[in-house]
Structure 1
């Protein structure tokens, strides 16, 4: 579904990503790990188009894409749940979900039952303002809003950050469900090691904007990954 070759990214004169090559496959979870400041969020921004990459190739579902802005990448089937969630606090839960309609034809402007099946609390709180929800509920709303767009590629940046343990468990169950029942590829950036390693089909560990190790979970032991993340 996604293939990156030698991707680079700069903020001004500072180079943040240095030749990132990786892939994410349909029906799999690819976890990107590493310590703070190694370029994980920058990688997500480059893939989603929220910050333009400086170089390298991006192939999505067999199509080579140029440097496209975020709304064009969304139309191509890329859904991005950023760190911090970025829901609209003054809009209701339903109105937040409806913002995902912008990527869909008019005939598909409805909230699928599956979204409320995955996140029952959102059905109960449809008329509550987003800003009135707890952090965990806002995270569920952000993921649900991304699913409204019917993505081929789902990007999740630190979905467990600041979330209570029972919501973390629910989010993990949702990711497992999506992996087994949908045609999308999932890229997960995560600091919570056990959460990430248990979900991963593929792992990519970054260090100073470069790929330190990568491979399938079958080919990388837990100790190998933990040691690479700890360096």
Structure 2
């Protein structure tokens, strides 16, 4: 679904990503790990188009893509749940979900029942303002909003950050469900090691803007990965 080769990214004169290669397959979870500041969020921003890459190639669903703005990539099927969630605090839950309609034809402007089945709290609170929700509820709203646009690739940036354990478990079940449907690739950035490792089909570890480790999970032992992450 996604294939990136030799991607570079700069903030001004500072190079953040250097020669990054990564692939994400439909029906699989690709987990990207690494300590703070190594470039994980920057990579997701480059894929989603919220910060343009400086160089390298990106192929999505078989199409070689030039550098495009975020709304064009969203229309092509790239859904992005950013770190910090970025829901609209003064809009209701229903209105937040409806912002996902922007990528869909008018005939599909409805919130599918599946969203409320995956996240029942959103149905209970659909008339509440987004800013009145707890952190865990806002995270569920942010994921639900991304799913409205029926993405082929779902980018999740630290979905467990600051979330209570029961909501983490629910989000894990939703990610596993979406993976098992087979039509979506999921690229998960995660620092909660066990959560990411348990869900992953493939794992990448970043250090200083480069990929240090990459491969199928079956070929990457947990102790070895933890050692790399701790150095």
TM-score for the superposition, normalised by structure 2: 0.99
SS in 2 for 1:10: strand
Q: How far apart in 2 are the matches of 1:61 and 1:230? A: 35
Q: How far apart in 2 are the matches of 1:87 and 1:121? A: 16
Structure 1 outlier segments of 4+, above 3 Å: none
Alignment of 1:162-177 (within 5 A): 162-177=162-177
Structure 2 gap ranges (5+):
none
TM-score for the superposition, normalised by structure 1: 0.99
Alignment of 1:41-56 (within 5 A): 41-56=41-56
SS in 2 for 1:68: coil
Asked if structure 1 preserves the Cα contact closer than 8 Å seen for 2:28 and 2:182, the reply is no
1:204-224 residue CA offsets vs partner (Å, 9 max, x unmatched):
000000000100011111012
Q: How far apart in 1 are the matches of 2:192 and 2:226? A: 11
Quote the residue 1:150 is aligned against: 150
Q: How far apart in 1 are the matches of 2:56 and 2:187? A: 19
1:135-177 residue CA offsets vs partner (Å, 9 max, x unmatched):
0000000000000000000000000000000000000000000
The structural deviation recorded for 1:182 is 4.2
Quote the residue 2:98 is aligned against: 98
Q: How far apart in 2 are the matches of 1:225 and 1:71? A: 35
Quote the residue 1:187 is aligned against: 187
Moved more, 215-224 or 89-98: 215-224
Structure 1 gap ranges (5+):
none
SS in 1 for 2:219: coil
Q: How far apart in 2 are the matches of 1:49 and 1:190? A: 20
Alignment of 1:34-183 (within 5 A): 34-183=34-183
RMSD of aligned residue pairs (Cα, Å): 0.5
The structural deviation recorded for 1:63 is 0.4
The total of aligned residue pairs comes to 231
Q: How far apart in 2 are the matches of 1:147 and 1:228? A: 33
Q: How far apart in 1 are the matches of 2:187 and 2:230? A: 21
The structural deviation recorded for 1:181 is 1.4
